Structures are given as C-alpha cells and as structure tokens.
Amino acid sequence: MEMMNGGLKLSDELLGTFVPIILYWIYSGIYVLLGSLENYRLHTKKDEDEKNLVPKKDVVKGVLLQQAVQAVVATILFAVTGSDSESTQAHQASVFVLARQFLVAMMVLDTWQYFMHRYMHHNKFLYRHIHSQHHRLIVPYAFGALYNHPLEGLLLDTIGGALSFLASGMSPRTSIFFFSFATLKTVDDHCGLWLPGNLFHLFFRNNSAYHDIHHQLYGNKYNFSQPFFVMWDRILGTYMPYSLEKRSKGGLEARPTKECKEN
C-alpha cells in the first residue's frame, strides 16, 4: 500500500519504521505536560530532578541514537524480507489471523526481553558497563523509556523487535500498528504516573508501578518482564508484589508487599 500525503508517497515499510518514533515523542510530550499532576506521580518532581544520575539532554541524545539504529535495522529488515510485495496480506487477513500475529509477537518480544534483561542484571560485567546506563534513571519518566546503552538498545529492543516481526509473520502494514502499540506501552511503563482510567493499567499487570519497583534498589533483581505481561516473572520467581499507597505530602508510592528471596 502507498499513502498520499501532500503528494508524497509513503510505503508501509517507511511508516512502520518512523510512525513508532514519532508517536514516542508525542506520547512522551503528553506525559511531560501531565507531570505537574503531583497527586498522580509515583515520585515527586523534586526526586525526579535530584535522584536521577543523568541530565535530560543526555537522555534525549541517547534515545535519538537508539531510534536511529532502530530505523536502520528496520529498513534493512524490510528490504531483506521483501515484504513490500506481500503487504496486500493485510487486506486478506482475518481478525483472528491479526490477533494471532499480535499475540505471537507479544510473546516473542516478552520472552526475549525477559531473559536478556535478567541476564544483564545478573552478569556483573554487563550490568556495570551496559545496563546500568538505563538505571541511572532511578525515577523513570516517559521520554527516558528508551534511554539505554547503544548495545543494549540493539540487543533488547531492536533485535527483539525483529524477532517478533519475523516469528509472527506479520506484514509491514500490521507492523505499523504493533510497533506503535509496543512503543506507547513502553513509554507508559516509564511515565512515573498512575492516572485514573489508564487503559494500559486496566489490561496489563505490567505497568508504570510494576516497572517503578524494578528501578528501585530493593527491586533491582525483580520485575524484569517488559513490555506486556508478567508471566516469566511469576513462573521463575522474580515477581515482586506491590501496593500503591498515598504519600503524606501527596502523590502515590509503589511499595513491595512482602520480602523476596535474592535471585
């Protein structure tokens, strides 16, 4: 399929590459504007400014670098698979087929990221030199969702996304919706807010509070799952249950409800 936009033809492959990137910054921008809602924050704005170990300008640079790598890999992947000629499958695919492709892609991405993420925490070299960069954000915020070491971004997100695309058999057109959805979910998980009526919180146990636990020192080796389900954490004993409690000066705090054994 080609879409006309002011005379410019946009292929499914081009949209699948750049729409998730554009949505990342739009959705993050919305959360930046909502950040003044102290009653719904999981950490105070003061904590966000003082506890994080990296300036926000460096976070923006890091995210843009990762997105550039993702765009290059996506372009190569679409070219190698030659899926452009097969994009008409999206018209022919039933709702059942599309749902199956989404579910397979979600499971593959979750499985890949869980085990890679967990290994980066348990391997001292990888944690110290690679994954610790993401944990400089002790108080997560939306546009820091993809702030990672470039190698981690390639291994976890870019390769994980490529595997989910290939394993599910989705078309480039379907991938536009899947990767846009995955991007919005990832941003939401790092937004540091617990807003009433958030649909992601209604349908997924893997949410901003769940991931906030992981960013705290006591939860550093728990709640590895991302971005959709908590299945692997529950199966392999790395799930840290929590409760949301009101802070005395306003806002909410995710607190573990029981101690967990060291993994």
Residue 200 falls inside a structural domain: yes
In what helix (H) or strand (E) does residue 246 lie, and over which residues does it extend? strand 242-246
Q: What is the per-residue pLDDT for 4?
A: 47
Distance of CA 255 to the CA centre of its chain: 22
Task: Report the SS3 class of residue 46.
Answer: helix
Residue 199 falls inside a structural domain: yes
Classify burial at 204, counting beta carbons within 10 Å of its beta carbon; exposed 0-12, middle 13-18, buried 19 or more.
middle
Quick check: 122 and 238 in contact, CB under 8 A?
Answer: no
DSSP string, 197-242: T-HHHHH-SSSHHHHHHHHSGGGTTS----SS--HHHHHTT----E
- Measured in residues, the chain has a length of 263
Q: What is the per-residue pLDDT for 249?
A: 80
Per-residue pLDDT of the chain (263 residues; tens, 9 = 90+): 444 445 557 899 999 999 999 999 999 999 999 998 999 999 999 999 999 999 999 999 999 999 999 999 999 999 988 654 444 454 557 889 999 999 999 999 999 999 999 999 999 999 999 999 999 999 999 999 999 999 999 999 999 999 999 999 999 999 999 999 999 999 999 999 999 999 999 999 999 999 999 999 999 999 999 999 999 999 999 999 999 999 888 899 999 987 665 55
Residue type at 82 in one-letter notation: G
Residue 234 falls inside a structural domain: no
Q: What is the per-residue pLDDT for 87?
A: 46
Distance of CA 67 to the CA centre of its chain: 13
Instruction: Compute the distance between CA of residue 222 and CA of residue 219 in angstroms, rounded to an integer.
Output: 5
Residue 62 falls inside a structural domain: yes
6: left (phi over 0), alpha (psi -120 to 50) or beta: left
Residue 245 falls inside a structural domain: no
For 158, the domain range is 9-207
Q: What is the CA radius of gyration of the chain?
A: 19
Residue 103 falls inside a structural domain: yes
Residue whose token pair is 């939306």: 142
Secondary structure of 184-197 in HEC code, one letter for each residue = HHHHHHCCCECCCC
Q: What is the per-residue pLDDT for 148?
A: 96
Angle separating helix axes 172-189 and 12-34, nearest 10 degrees: 20
Q: What is the per-residue pLDDT for 10?
A: 83
Residue 56 falls inside a structural domain: yes
Closest by CA to 79, choosing from 17, 18, 21, 13, is: 13
Instruction: Compute the distance between CA of residue 200 and CA of residue 122 in angstroms, rounded to an integer.
Output: 29
Residue 158 falls inside a structural domain: yes
Structure tokens belonging to residue 229: 């389900």
Q: What is the per-residue pLDDT for 259?
A: 65
What's the structural domain count of the chain?
1
| Alpha helices (runs of H) in the chain, residue ranges in sequence order | 12-34, 45-51, 56-81, 89-92, 95-122, 124-129, 150-152, 159-168, 172-189, 199-203, 208-215, 231-235
